[in-house]
Structure 1
Amino acid sequence: MDGAVVGSGRIDAKVMLVALGLSLAAATSLGFARFAYSLLLPTMRTALHWSYFAAGAMNTVNAVGYLGGALLVTRISDRFGNRRSFIVSGIGMVVALALTPVSAHLVPLLTLRLISGLCGAVIFVIGSSLAQQAARGLSRSGAAVVLGVYFGGAGLGTALSGAIIPAIHLRAATLWRVDWSILAVITLLAMVGATFASLQVGDPPVRSVGERHLGHYRPLLPALIAYGVFGFGYLAFLTFQVAFMSHQGLPSSRVVLSYVLFGMVAAVSGFIWFRPLAGHRPGLVAASIYLSGALGAVLYLVSTALWVEIIAGILFGLALMSCSTAFGVVTRVVLPPSLQTGAMGVATVAIAVGQSLGPLVTGQIADSHFGLAGAIGVGGAFIGLAALVSLFQRTGAA
């Protein structure tokens, strides 16, 4: 079968197609179900008369659901198997998105965001585990490419959201309902493709009873803390980035450009970082990835010039999902295959805690005299802190 040579490993064409199919799960769980909300926030806030705190609470509740899913995913997958859990969670995600336009009241909307977060975590974690399984037998560089393709799906979903959501163009207060309906249809199509890909991969090894203790993940502690701090920073930034640009009076085309740019860069970033991640210091590379994201976020505060926005979008896009790829590579080095689903589950708990706090805290900052610029600045600062923490991760000899 035709293959693509990457580094010292050979990636079979079928493996790459499976990775691309699974990447639709990442596009669903993060790109469509989570990141797209930032594009809808300005029109929903106007139509539903929300404060920035209420708007941030929508993403906080979604992150709480994500946290719940991350806490439960290993138990669910141990009991029902990865693929069955993956498929059922995909159905739940589609239903939650399809029901979102039905009500304009905050409580039902928060409930649906909670459900979509829970299903999204299960989809994302199991999808990453299936991608790890698809990459078994490959060199570290080859595995980094496969994982980069999977996690890059979230960037593709982000870019597609920025390109297709009509509310960002037309600003009609009623179109937020149409947008959620469109996202539900796209999610259904994506999960059909991801489900087919999941059927091409065997279930990852099930953890033994002795492997279900959290102490087994202690060698990953710096990476886990950095991942959680990044979760605080990047979701705080994404939640209010569109509102910040709109507040500056920038045209909707510039907002679309920003979202599409860092989404597309995120989609291909795995091909940029795979060689450094295959080296002796993936923890150091992870720190570089976080630093890129921090610089990108802060640059939005520096100038409204188009060239600055382009550089900022590229830098942020290089970090958006490559941090997950880096964590996956570190996990492959440090832990046996049977612990890798659990490791991504623990990492998803860490990032979900940060995601739960980020929009809520920065929503209060945005409502204060610091305004939206303060919220963006705090988000960028926390991403920078993740880079610092990541320097302490050790992986041993390559």
Structure 2
Amino acid sequence: MAAARPTNPWLILLGLALGVSISNAFGRFAYGLILPSMKSSLGWSLTQSGWLNTANSIGYIVGSILTLLLIRHFSPSRLFASGTVATALCLLATGFDESLVFQTACRTLVGLFGALSFVSGGVLAASLFQSHARKNALAIALYFGGGGGFGIALCGATLPTMLDAFGPQYWDWAWIGVGLAALVICPFSVWASTELNETEHDAALPSIPPVRRMLGQLGGYALFGLGYIVYVTFISVWMKEQHSSVLLTTATWMVLGFSIMASPFVWRGVLARFSSGMPLALILSGVALGSALPILVPSGYGLILSALVFGLSVFMPPTAVTSFVRQNVEQPDWGATISFFTVIFAISQALGPIGAGVIGDITGEIGDSLVVASAVLLVGALCAAMQKPLIREAAKPS
């Protein structure tokens, strides 16, 4: 893939990363902050609450597959721009009807268009600094973590206070506010993508990834999708059940956002050192610990520490998978292999929220689902730890 040289690559990267604020932070994580108010006002069960993020994940599956088909015929910049704007509009629409059917449709479309934006934006970010390997790797990591962390911190700083001041019945205005914030960001993100609108893309049919030789890494990534989404969806519901203050909720989500922003710098040494599944194993161990800490240390300190540990790890598995593929698979097969990982992740992610909701309804305690999620993540870490390099050191692609 070749791209025209932009005059302001770091500014363009900022615009692309802010697109992740829309597709991931607003599109996926904000639901966890608004959910307690929606659940209280609309009388939802935990299963119904989990279902909406499962619907979002189903949309993400469809969007991921759709992106892989469309990117052979349309430029990544066009897909990124259309996906980002459509995600913002669907977020805004979420505040206009309380019916479960309408909410399901909105969450599904947010997932679909969010995947279109996120995946194609990753292609654009990877086209920056191609002649400088370290800058290129940093750009990809900052794309995944920087914009998402900023969006989560922004939501954490505003939504809990707003809903506490006006009451849970104003959950619809929270979504309208999120949608308007996304629309404000859109022009900058669209501009960034148009600066890379001459990016070429490979129209060749994808090759078949070496699945049998990557079962450890695939298993780890699948269990990551199944486990991490439980914390994202239900941590605020659990905090409300524990009568946590608005200040603590705000602080927890802001720490989560800022630690996500810092995570690329924490893990880049580990990612560069290993060509096996060890980076993913270590990262999943961090996600597992962060998920369990609210239950293991049931206090405000435990929640803040949980947000810190979880945030420093949760956005890094895609980077770990990308690094693994780049070091172990021939360059012409990178796209197809990473895409295969993405689809596996998306399918497993769809099962997590509704499964956690069912467990919470059966036991009467959503904290039990956090513990189960932590155990799932630890199994994923074990799977990844068993993954060996696919090729010998001397044969790695540069």
TM-score w.r.t. length of structure 2 = 0.90
Give distance in 2, aligned partners of 1:302 and 1:113.
32
- 1:145 corresponding residue in structure 2: 138
Give distance in 1, aligned partners of 2:376 and 2:129.
32
Counterpart pick for 2:168 among 144, 151, 173: 173
Seen in structure 2, the aligned counterparts of structure 1 residues 338 and 171 have a Cα distance that, compared at 3 Å, is farther
Give distance in 1, aligned partners of 2:79 and 2:50.
29
- 1:206 corresponding residue in structure 2: 202
Counterpart pick for 1:380 among 357, 361, 374: 374
- 2:95 corresponding residue in structure 1: 101
- The within-5 A match list for 1:294-373 is 294-336=288-330, 339-369=333-363, 371-373=365-367
1:89 has 2:83 as partner: yes
- The within-5 A match list for 1:146-165 is 146-152=139-145, 153-165=147-159
8 Å contact kept, 2:124–2:193 = yes
Seen in structure 2, the aligned counterparts of structure 1 residues 331 and 278 have a Cα distance that, compared at 3 Å, is same
Give distance in 2, aligned partners of 1:322 and 1:82.
23
- The within-5 A match list for 1:43-58 is 43-58=37-52
Deviation at 1:386, TM superposition (A): 1.9
- 1:19 corresponding residue in structure 2: 13
Counterpart pick for 2:119 among 97, 104, 125: 125
Number of matched pairs: 384
Residues 283-341 of structure 1 deviation map (CA, whole Å, 9 limit, x = unaligned): 21221111111111111101233332222211101111011221222232234555444
Query: 5+ unaligned residues in a row in structure 1: which ranges?
Result: 1-11
Give distance in 1, aligned partners of 2:305 and 2:269.
22
Which deviates more from structure 2 when the two are superposed, residues 14-23 or residues 108-117?
14-23
Give distance in 2, aligned partners of 1:164 and 1:261.
14
% of aligned pairs identical? 28
Give distance in 2, aligned partners of 1:171 and 1:361.
32
Seen in structure 2, the aligned counterparts of structure 1 residues 108 and 219 have a Cα distance that, compared at 3 Å, is same
Deviation at 1:384, TM superposition (A): 1.6
- 1:69 corresponding residue in structure 2: 63
Which deviates more from structure 2 when the two are superposed, residues 363-372 or residues 103-112?
363-372
1:197 has 2:192 as partner: yes
Deviation at 1:171, TM superposition (A): 6.0
Counterpart pick for 2:386 among 388, 392, 396: 392
8 Å contact kept, 1:144–1:277 = no
Which deviates more from structure 2 when the two are superposed, residues 119-128 or residues 380-389?
380-389
Deviation at 1:66, TM superposition (A): 0.4
Which deviates more from structure 2 when the two are superposed, residues 172-181 or residues 359-368?
172-181
- 2:228 corresponding residue in structure 1: 234
- 2:3 corresponding residue in structure 1: none
8 Å contact kept, 2:295–2:371 = yes
Partner SS, residue 50 of structure 1: coil
8 Å contact kept, 1:236–1:358 = yes
Give distance in 1, aligned partners of 2:44 and 2:326.
44
Residues 48-94 of structure 1 deviation map (CA, whole Å, 9 limit, x = unaligned): 11111111111000000001111221101112221111112122212
Give distance in 2, aligned partners of 1:168 and 1:333.
47
Partner SS, residue 194 of structure 1: helix
- 2:183 corresponding residue in structure 1: 188
Give distance in 2, aligned partners of 1:18 and 1:395.
35
Counterpart pick for 1:280 among 271, 274, 284: 274
